[in-house]
Each structure stands twice: as structure tokens, then as C-alpha cells.
């Protein structure tokens, strides 16, 4: 079975999407429409060379979404997924690419999500850290015993788990995890504790926007972050999307379930090759590739 997967925040790079814009009239129309919807010229930032401007959350999330979704749309009949998934932000890209959400509604939700997350970060100074070379159960146990807010946030692949929490909590956890045998435990250059209880203000704000958005029947099953299971019911998809900001991204479990369900080929749609690498760490026999025009 063929899966198309969509990357999350961190995959951005200066100049992203410019080649798609120049190669396709349809892409140009969609990028121009995005500028109108957002109320600023995101293409100027995406196609430019200012990496710092591109790292602003209000820009980063819509930029990655647009790169992924517009590429999928330009592929046209070549885009033939039998299953899809997206890592965190990438879940919105996957939903639009397969018809569960319209392009306009998807972009509006992503923009709302980015703004809400930025506000939550400013309200609760916090961060994340990558933990390498330690079993999930050990990381979970250590986090649960720390009085500060610290939780598993991204189960990226076996032996790679990202934790999320208060600045003090992450500092304590990093020390304890190294003592427990982690190969590395280091802070990430992010602006807040994504996929943790500290994102609750953002979750509440995004929930209202999701409730007022029309979700449709999609073209194939999506494996959502909070469940790691094949889902097609728009109502269930909507509810899972509401939980996503404060719940961990079960990416390892998602990859394992997709493989158990017959996955043979993975195509990454969007900037970077991170997800391909994660799939290869789970099963080296999988064929992985990047979508291209």
C-alpha cells in the first residue's frame, strides 16, 4: 500500500515553494490566494533568503502547510494515496490534500493554530528536549516523577523521544535522563512546550475554530497523531484534531500501525526528508521517496 506523509514544523527552508510557484499556474493561483487569506505576502518570506523571518511561528506553520498542500494539488492524478498521515502540523496538510478540509479552511485553521500557539508560548515560558537512546517506558517514568510539568511529546521513532514542559522541568529531566542512561538529552531551539498541558490555552482557542469548520469525507484513511489508527469518519477526525495540541504525537506507533496494515511505499510531500528517515529506522525494507513535480 502507498502512503503519503506530511512534515511538521522544523522542515522549513529559505526559498521553499518557489520552484513549485514558477512551474505551475495552479500553484501560482493557490499561493496568491493564500496571500489574500492571510492578509500578508507569505510568499515574499517563503521565496526569500531571510531564515529568521521564516522561523516566526505565524509564518512557519502556514509556509510548511502551503508547500505541502500545493505540491500535492499540483501532482494531480499522480497523487494516489491509499493512506496518509502528518506529523503534528502535517496532519492539517494531510487532511486538505485528501479532501477532508478545503484549502481555504485548512489554511485558516493552520493560521489560527500558529497564532494561538504563539500566545500560549508567551503566557507560559517553556521548551522541549530530544532524548536519544532510552526506552520510552523509562523516559515516561522519569517524567512522571518530576513535580514540574514535563511530558513525552513526540514519539518520533524507537530510541528517539521528545519531551515537553516548563523550562525548569526540562532542565531537571535532562539531567535525570542522562543519569538513567540516555545517549543524549538536549534542549531544542523551540519557543514553547508543544504537545503538553501548557498548550491548553491554544487548544481551547483552536477548538472553537475547529467546531465552526466544515469537515468532509476524504479520499482515503488518515492515521491521526493522537490515536495512531486508521480513521475515515469526519466527526472522529474533528475530535482528534482538537486533542492534538496537548496530546503527544504518536508517530512511532503510527508508522508501526501503517506497516502492520500493509504499507510498502512512503512518499513525503513537503519540505525536507525527516519523515522518510524515521520510517527507515522502523523498517529498512520500505521504499521511501520525496514527492516531486
* Active-site option among 68, 164, 195, 196: 195
| 166: in domain | yes
How high is the pLDDT of residue 39?
A: 96
Please identify, among 187, 214, 233, the residue that sits at the C-terminal boundary of a domain: 187
How high is the pLDDT of residue 292?
A: 85
| 141: in domain | yes
> Residues 111, 227: one domain?
yes
> Residues 29, 81: one domain?
yes
Please identify, among 187, 210, 228, the residue that sits at the C-terminal boundary of a domain: 187
How high is the pLDDT of residue 108?
A: 98
Q: Give the three cell numbers for residue 253.
A: 506507533
* Active-site option among 24, 88, 126, 191: 88
Distance CA 246, CA 258 (A): 23
> Residues 26, 116: one domain?
yes
Q: CATH number of the domain that 144 lies in?
A: 3.30.70.250
Nearest to 84 by CA among 71, 73, 96: 96
Nearest to 4 by CA among 265, 278, 277: 265
Q: CATH number of the domain that 37 lies in?
A: 3.40.366.10
> Residues 6, 80: one domain?
yes
| 150: in domain | yes
> Residues 183, 206: one domain?
no
Residue carrying C-alpha cell 529559505 = 14
> Residues 95, 201: one domain?
yes
> Residues 116, 206: one domain?
yes
How high is the pLDDT of residue 191?
A: 84
How high is the pLDDT of residue 190?
A: 87
| Domain range enclosing 136 | 125-187
| 246: in domain | yes
> Residues 228, 160: one domain?
no
Dump pLDDT digits (tens) for 52-83.
999 888 899 999 999 999 999 999 999 999 99
> Residues 113, 203: one domain?
yes
Active site residue 88: yes
> Residues 181, 210: one domain?
no
> Residues 105, 135: one domain?
no
| 153: in domain | yes
Distance CA 101, CA 69 (A): 11
The CA dihedral of 47, 49, 55, 60, to the nearest 10 degrees, is 10
Active site residue 67: no
| Helical axes 57-75 vs 103-123, angle rounded to 10° | 160
Please identify, among 136, 169, 187, the residue that sits at the C-terminal boundary of a domain: 187
How high is the pLDDT of residue 18?
A: 97
Instruction: Render each residue's pLDDT in the chain as its tens digit; 293 residues.
Output: 999 999 999 899 999 999 999 999 999 999 999 999 999 999 999 999 999 999 888 899 999 999 999 999 999 999 999 999 999 999 999 999 999 999 999 999 999 999 999 999 998 889 999 999 999 999 999 999 999 999 999 999 999 999 999 999 999 999 999 999 999 999 998 889 999 999 999 999 999 999 999 999 999 999 999 999 999 999 999 999 999 999 999 999 999 999 999 999 999 999 999 999 999 999 999 999 999 87
Please give the backbone phi and psi of residue 56, each rounded to the nearest 5 degrees, phi first. -65, 125
Nearest to 100 by CA among 116, 117, 86, 119: 86
How high is the pLDDT of residue 17?
A: 96
Dump pLDDT digits (tens) for 123-153.
888 999 999 999 999 999 999 999 999 999 9
| 103: in domain | yes
How many structural domains is the chain composed of? 2
| 192: in domain | no
> Residues 17, 73: one domain?
yes
How high is the pLDDT of residue 124?
A: 87
How high is the pLDDT of residue 57?
A: 85
Return all residues near 169 (Cβ < 8 A) that are at least 6 apart: 146, 148, 149, 150
| 31: in domain | yes
Amino acid at each position: 500500500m502507498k502512503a503519503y506523509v506530511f512534515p511538521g514544523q522544523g522542515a522549513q527552508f529559505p526559498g521553499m515553494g518557489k520552484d513549485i510557484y514558477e512551474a505551475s499556474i495552479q500553484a501560482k493561483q493557490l499561493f496568491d490566494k493564500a496571500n489574500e487569506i492571510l492578509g500578508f505576502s507569505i510568499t515574499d518570506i517563503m521565496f526569500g533568503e531571510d531564515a529568521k523571518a521564516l522561523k516566526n511561528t505565524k509564518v512557519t506553520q502556514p509556509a510548511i502547510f502551503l508547500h505541502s498542500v500545493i505540491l500535492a494539488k499540483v501532482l494531480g492524478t499522480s497523487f494516489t494515496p491509499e493512506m496518509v498521515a502528518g506529523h503534528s502540523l502535517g496532519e492539517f496538510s494531510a487532511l486538505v490534500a485528501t479532501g477532508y478540509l478545503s484549502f481555504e479552511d485548512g489554511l485558516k485553521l493552520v493560521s489560527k493554530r500558529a497564532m494561538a500557539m504563539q500566545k500560549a508560548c508567551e503566557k507560559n515560558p517553556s521548551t522541549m528536549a530530544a532524548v536519544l537512546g532510552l526506552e520510552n517506558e523509562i523516559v515516561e517514568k522519569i517524567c512522571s516523577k518530576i513535580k514540574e510539568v514535563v511530558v513525552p511529546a513526540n514519539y518520533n521513532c524507537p530510541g528517539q523521544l521528545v519531551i515537553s514542559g516548563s523550562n525548569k522541568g526540562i532542565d531537571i529531566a535532562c539531567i535525570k535522563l542522562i543519569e538513567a542512561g540516555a545517549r543524549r538529552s538536549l534542549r531544542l531551539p523551540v519557543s514553547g512546550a508543544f504537545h503538553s498541558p501548557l498548550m491548553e490555552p491554544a487548544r481551547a482557542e483552536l477548538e472553537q475554530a475547529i467546531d465552526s469548520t466544515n469537515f468532509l469525507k476524504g479520499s482515503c484513511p488518515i492515521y491521526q497523531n493522537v490515536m495512531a489508527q486508521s480513521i475515515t469518519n469526519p466527526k472522529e477526525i474533528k475530535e482528534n484534531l482538537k486533542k492534538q495540541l496537548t496530546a503527544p504525537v504518536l508517530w512511532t506507533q503510527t508508522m508501526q500501525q501503517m506497516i502492520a496494515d500493509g504499507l510498502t511505499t512512503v512518499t513525503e510531500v513537503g519540505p525536507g526528508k525527516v519523515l522518510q528517515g524515521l520510517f527507515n529506522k522502523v523498517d529498512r525494507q520500505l521504499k521511501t521517496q520525496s514527492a516531486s513535480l
